[in-house]
């Protein structure tokens, strides 16, 4: 070890009590704390990113983009799963009434459906 390295190590030891200086976090501090994101997921595991964005704004007063939330979640090691939810507009009674109405008044040849 060089003499200069020894001087540096002694100086660090006198200042910190350790031989290795703790690294200073470089760069800009993160807007979203990963623990806040983790808490949202723990409360509601099937939460959508948009819902999580609203929840973070209300509870933590943090305004973040969906991309930031996604990166934070990936950094925490969470994986994505598709969640299927029934449509809000889906109503069995309305569907049955529509089938009855169409079945009584129209022939199948009269119907055209476009997506």
Measured between alpha carbons, how far is 64 from 61 in angstroms, rounded to an integer?
10
Taking only the tens place, the pLDDT of each residue in 52-64 is: 999 999 988 889 9
Domain residue extents for the chain: 3-81
70 closest CA partner among 91, 56, 58: 56
Taking only the tens place, the pLDDT of each residue in 13-37 is: 888 888 877 777 778 888 888 888 8
Model pLDDT, residue 22? 72
> pTM, whole model, 2 decimals?
0.50
Question: Phi-psi region for residue 79, left (φ > 0), alpha (ψ -120 to 50) or beta?
Answer: beta
Q: Are 78 and 41 in contact (CB under 8 A)?
A: yes
């Amino acid at each position: 070890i060089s003499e200069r390295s020894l001087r540096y190590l002694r100086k660090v030891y006198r200042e910190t009590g350790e031989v290795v200086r703790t690294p200073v976090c470089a760069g800009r501090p993160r807007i979203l704390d990963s623990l806040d994101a983790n808490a949202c997921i723990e409360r509601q595991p099937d939460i959508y990113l948009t819902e999580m964005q609203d929840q973070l704004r209300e509870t933590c007063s943090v305004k973040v983009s969906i991309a930031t939330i996604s990166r934070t979640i990936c950094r925490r090691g969470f994986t994505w799963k598709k969640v299927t939810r029934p449509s809000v507009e889906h109503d069995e009674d309305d569907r049955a009434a529509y089938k009855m109405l169409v079945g009584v008044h129209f022939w199948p040849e009269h119907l055209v459906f476009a997506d």
